[in-house]
Amino acid sequence: MLLCLQIWPLLRERSFGKLEGMPVEDFIAQAETDGHSIFWDYTPEGGEDLEQVRLRAKKFFEVKTEHGQFFQAQCQCTEAAW
């Protein structure tokens, strides 16, 4: 079976900057230390805020709409092992 994997940088997960990779408990504690009671609205230094993530996702859907649902640019194919 041949699988085709598309890599879309626009769909990467949210960047948490200097807190990237930190356990969620530590992230929440840092957000509270920095004066934020709602941790998902907290943007650490060097990280993306929710508006930046929203705009990136919006851009992805604009590109997908522009090129059609089955846009195959820069497709990387590999043999499936299962």
User: Cα dist. 33→24, 38, 50 in Å?
Assistant: 14, 12, 20
Assess contact for 30 and 44: CB atoms under 8 A: yes
pLDDT of residue 8: 83
Over the chain (82 residues), what is each successive 10-residue block's mean pLDDT?
Answer: 78 92 92 87 92 92 67 49 50
Instruction: Answer yes or no: pTM beyond 0.85.
Output: no
pLDDT of residue 74: 44
